[in-house]
Amino acid sequence: MVQYESPPLDLSFAALSDATRRGIIDQLGRGDASITSLADKFQMTLTGMKKHVQVLERAGLVVTQKVGRVRTCKLGKRGLKAEAEWIEAHRRLFEARFEALDEIISEMKQEGSDD
Amino acid sequence: MVQYESPPLDLSFAALSDATRRGIIDQLGRGDASITSLADKFQMTLTGMKKHVQVLERAGLVVTQKVGRVRTCKLGKRGLKAEAEWIEAHRRLFEARFEALDEIISEMKQEGSDD
DNA sequence: TATACACTGAACCATATGGTTCAGTATGAA
DNA sequence: TTCATACTGAACCATATGGTTCAGTGTATA
């Protein structure tokens, strides 16, 4: 029996699982943007865009600040460090598995039913 | 107006957004496993575990093979390359943003309402 | 052959997601 | 003051998620 938690990774990977939200990050990399300008760019209602931004904000990937009537979104200082670390560590894990001898052997004598 | 797609990243990031599934990848890194052994290790019903494995399989992160009555799960050869690339590219993007001059300036003269 | 084991599928449940519309509120400009 | 802009919140909708139970099916084993 093993225990696993770490909500931050849950939130950020979930945030990254949507193409629109990855696009928003792309866009904010080219400069800060208001909700309205993002909504225009991604052909979506203001309300819809606000929800996406909130998801990114909860994940710490984006920070927003409202000045006057416009809310400006920018990339969060938190960055993607934790995510990069998890991915890198496990990418090595994947590779290690395939270099293992028993893998090569079972690859050679590969038979048996599948579905 | 911008168009964004790429279902593979959608699927894999979504798969990685659950701590149990990240744990399964961890576990498979230490050796192949049956649905039953995974279900035991994560204190979950067989049916529940099967669903998690299916999510990982759809994302290409895990492959399974049924021999006799046991379905063996192993890490997929696809790996985490595409995910690592996206994360790395955007991690640099985050950092570039913070090195930009206007960031430093606006950080200094930081005022204005927030919520 | 009888029994146990490993999985599978259908059905259900509560909650979350990704989107919308509609009706505000607050702010800036004329 | 009036009007447009920029956002906000509530409500709704269809679908997905993460889990369960229950009733199978197929495969080993005694």
List, as one string, the DSSP characters of chain B: ------HHHHHHHHHHTSHHHHHHHHHHHT--EEHHHHHHHTT--HHHHHHHHHHHHHTTSEEEEEETTEEEEEE-TTTTHHHHHHHHHHHHHHHHHHHSHHHHHHHHT--S---
Given a cut of 70, whether residue B115 has pLDDT beyond it is no
CB contact under 8 A, A97 and B29: yes
Q: Is the CB of B40 under 7 A from strand D?
A: no
Residue B83's pLDDT band (boundaries 50, 70, 90)?
very high
User: Residue B101: pLDDT above 80?
Assistant: no
Instruction: Answer whether any strand D atom is within 7 A of the Cβ of A70.
Output: yes
A26 and A46 housed in the same domain? yes
Q: Identify whether B25 is part of a domain.
A: yes
The per-residue pLDDT for B5 is 46
Report helix, strand or coil for A12. helix
Assess whether A85 and A100 both reside in one domain: yes
Asked whether residue B11 is domain-assigned, the answer is yes
Percentage, residues of chain B above pLDDT 90: 70
Q: Which B residues in the span 49-88 are in contact with A, Cβ-Cβ below 8 Å?
A: 65-67, 74-77, 79-81, 83-84, 86-88
Rounded average pLDDT over B4-28: 89
Amino acid at A52: H
What CATH number should be reported for the domain holding residue A48? 1.10.10.10
* A30 and A62 belong to one structural domain: yes
- Separation in Å: C29 C1' and B41 CA: 64
- CA B8 to chain CA centroid, Å, is 11
B82 has pLDDT over 90 = yes
Query: What is the pLDDT, as a whole number, of residue B48?
Result: 97
Rounded Cα distance, A83 and A80, in Å: 5
Does some domain include residue A99? Answer: yes
The span from the CA of A73 to the CA of B8, in Å, is 27
Mean pLDDT value of segment B33-51: 97
Assess if residue B90 is contained within a domain: no
Number of domains in chain B: 1
- The answer, for A5 touching chain B at a CB cutoff of 8 Å, is yes
> Which amino acid, B12?
S
The answer to whether some atom of strand D lies closer than 7 Å to the beta carbon of B104 is: no
What mean pLDDT do residues B64-73 have? 96
A62 plus A44 within the same structural domain = yes
Query: From the CA of A40, how many Å to the C1' of D4?
Result: 18
Chain A residues with CB inside 8 Å of B75's CB? Answer: 93-94, 97-98
If residue A10 lies in a helix (H) or strand (E), which one and from where to where? helix A7-16
**Does A67 share its domain with A83?**
no
The mean pLDDT of B44-56, rounded to a whole number, is 97
Note whether residue A115 is domain-resident.
no
Does residue A63 share a domain with residue A20? yes
State whether A13 and A43 are in the same domain. yes
Give residue A36's domain range: 7-75
Alpha-carbon distance B61 to B70, whole Å? 20
User: A55 and A70 share a domain?
Assistant: yes
For tokens 């019903």, the residue is B45
Report if residue B92 sits inside a domain.
no
Residues with pLDDT less than 70, chain A: 1-7, 100-115
Residue A89 inside a domain? The answer is yes
Residue A22 and residue A46 in one domain = yes
pLDDT at B78 over 90: no
Do A35 and A68 fall within a single domain? Answer: yes
**Residue A13 maps to a domain:** yes
Q: Looking at the complex, does the CB of residue A21 fall below 8 Å from at least one CB of chain B?
A: no
Q: Are A5 and B19 in contact (CB under 8 A)?
A: yes
User: Based on the domain organization, do A48 and A89 belong to the same domain?
Assistant: no
User: B97 or A83, which is more confident?
Assistant: A83
